């Protein structure tokens, strides 16, 4: 049976670890200190001798093919981008939510809707803790959910984790406080790799993965490291001073909003050197195993492209529309808004899959080098 030691050899050393946190969150010996997450967000041995070598961490890793077929069957996955029940373009009806949130605030609006309808007790999200920095967070109040919205600059907090990495999304290490608080109905907002890891856990009926009642997946071009050198490079490309920046958004390009209200953009191809190494090998752009997938690509500014993938996701979206929590793009303004949005998602997904195949062929053709 393969164990965390094999994960280190097969996933971490080649640089393929997405740092989703699944292996640590569901380690059967976590309370004994076998595994932990280091200051850079990487899973490591806390005490190798305490590992009971059950192999669970290996099986649920999104980079490992174990359980892939079972996970696809459970999700009714299909080519080319997973199951698609409905594609639409929406935004939060609440202007205050839209003002703070990203791409129309659909994720925040739906979380608030579920919370206020008493469908969930909390949500695993992230919140700003400094420039370029997000921190995993278990939101258990309306204010918590609202405060987690958007990618605003905030220099009032220190950063305990993740160094200078720009953490856009949550990590499932927040399962620990969820367990301690006894929450049984929680929404997870995460990246494609995090959603896939959770789905593998649910295939195995692992506790407490059953406490996650709905998964909101975010379109993902990758996670980026914005250290001092990277910040200087971006400032030069965009022609800005970071002191003038109040907000950033990442979709088909990096969008920088200044205090004056002006916007500057940076093409993703100019940021390739800043992307986390493992993200070059990921083939899932549109969160193919989520209940609902979200992103700004394919939608007009201030709106969110939404793909419902499960009956549960479709029901949540329909209920929020009927209760006026969200509003749909006006078909009279563009009758093809949904089909064009889906076309853009498929295009971005195809490009990411093609790049991942290319990178993996190159990786197999050369000797393995240790990546951190």
% of the chain at pLDDT higher than 70: 89
Q: Using CA atoms, how far apart are residues 279 and 107, in angstroms rounded to an integer?
A: 23
Q: Using CA atoms, how far apart are residues 254 and 256, in angstroms rounded to an integer?
A: 6
pLDDT classification of 369: cutoffs 50, 70, 90: low
Q: What is the DSSP letter of 125?
A: E
- Calculate mean pLDDT across residues 280-304: 95
The residues pairing with 306 across neighbouring beta strands, listed in sequence order, are 88, 294
Q: State residue 159's pLDDT score.
A: 25
pLDDT classification of 363: cutoffs 50, 70, 90: confident
pLDDT classification of 132: cutoffs 50, 70, 90: low
Helix (H, G, I), strand (E, B) or coil at 45: strand
Please tell me which residue, 150 or 240, carries the higher pLDDT value: 240
Please tell me which residue, 124 or 249, carries the higher pLDDT value: 124
Domains of the chain, with CATH numbers? 4-69 (3.30.70.20), 86-364 (no CATH)
Q: Residue holding tokens 């001798």?
A: 49
Q: State residue 31's pLDDT score.
A: 65
| pLDDT at 358 exceeding the cut of 80 | yes
| pLDDT at 207 exceeding the cut of 70 | yes
DSSP string, 92-121: ES-HHHHHHSSTTSHHHHHHHHHHHTTS-S
- In sequence order, which ranges of the chain are alpha helices (DSSP H)? 4-7, 22-25, 56-60, 68-75, 95-100, 106-116, 142-147, 175-180, 192-203, 228-238, 311-322, 337-364
Length of the chain as a residue count:
372
Please tell me which residue, 227 or 191, carries the higher pLDDT value: 191
CB contact set of 11 (below 8 Å; sequence gap of 6+): 17, 61, 63, 64
Q: Using CA atoms, how far apart are residues 338 and 341, in angstroms rounded to an integer?
A: 5
| pLDDT at 295 exceeding the cut of 80 | yes
Q: At what angle do helices 106-116 and 311-322 cross, to 10 degrees?
A: 90
Torsion angle, CA of 255/215/307/89, rounded to 10 degrees? -50
Q: State residue 74's pLDDT score.
A: 95
pLDDT classification of 165: cutoffs 50, 70, 90: very low
Q: State residue 231's pLDDT score.
A: 86
Torsion angle, CA of 198/200/204/206, rounded to 10 degrees? -20
> 365 is written with which tokens?
């053709």
- H helices, E strands: number in the chain: 12, 15
**3-state class percentages of the chain: helix first, strand second, coil last, to nearest 5:** 40, 20, 40
- Calculate mean pLDDT across residues 37-65: 90
Mean pLDDT of all residues in the chain?
87
CB contact set of 335 (below 8 Å; sequence gap of 6+): none
Q: State residue 367's pLDDT score.
A: 53
| pLDDT at 169 exceeding the cut of 60 | no
> 357 is written with which tokens?
């195949």
% of the chain at pLDDT higher than 90: 61
| pLDDT at 283 exceeding the cut of 70 | yes
| pLDDT at 166 exceeding the cut of 70 | no
């Amino acid at each position: 049976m393969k164990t965390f030691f094999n994960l280190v050899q097969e996933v971490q050393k080649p640089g393929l670890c997405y740092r989703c946190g699944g292996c640590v969150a569901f380690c059967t010996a976590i309370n004994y200190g076998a595994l932990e997450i280091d200051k850079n967000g990487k899973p490591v041995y806390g005490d190798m001798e305490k590992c009971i070598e059950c192999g669970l961490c290996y099986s649920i890793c999104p980079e490992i093919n174990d359980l892939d077929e079972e996970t696809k069957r459970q999700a009714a996955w299909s080519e080319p981008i997973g199951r698609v029940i409905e594609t639409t373009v929406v935004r939060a009806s609440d202007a205050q939510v839209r003002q703070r949130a990203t791409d129309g605030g659909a994720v925040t609006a739906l979380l608030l809707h579920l919370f206020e309808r008493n469908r969930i007790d909390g949500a695993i999200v992230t919140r700003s803790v400094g420039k370029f920095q997000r921190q995993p967070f278990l939101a258990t109040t309306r204010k918590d959910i609202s405060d987690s919205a958007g990618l605003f600059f905030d220099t009032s907090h220190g950063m305990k984790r993740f160094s200078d990495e720009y953490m856009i999304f949550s990590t499932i290490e927040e399962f620990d406080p969820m367990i301690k608080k006894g929450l049984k109905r929680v929404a997870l907002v995460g990246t494609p790799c995090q959603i896939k890891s959770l789905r593998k856990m649910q295939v195995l009926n692992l506790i407490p993965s059953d406490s996650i009642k709905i998964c909101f997946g975010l379109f993902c071009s990758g996670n980026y490291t914005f250290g001092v050198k990277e910040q200087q490079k971006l400032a030069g490309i965009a022609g800005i001073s970071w002191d003038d920046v109040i907000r950033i958004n990442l979709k088909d390009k990096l969008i920088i909003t200044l205090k004056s209200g002006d916007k500057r953009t940076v093409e993703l191809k100019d940021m390739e050197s800043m992307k986390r190494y493992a993200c070059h090998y990921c083939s899932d752009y549109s969160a193919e195993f989520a209940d609902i997938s979200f992103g700004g690509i394919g939608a007009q500014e201030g709106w969110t492209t939404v793909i419902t993938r499960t009956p549960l996701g479709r029901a949540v979206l329909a209920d929020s529309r009927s209760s006026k929590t969200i509003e749909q793009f006006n078909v009279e303004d563009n009758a093809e808004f949904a089909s064009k949005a889906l076309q853009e998602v498929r295009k971005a997904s195809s490009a990411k899959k093609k790049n991942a195949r290319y990178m993996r062929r190159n990786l197999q053709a050369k000797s393995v080098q240790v990546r951190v």
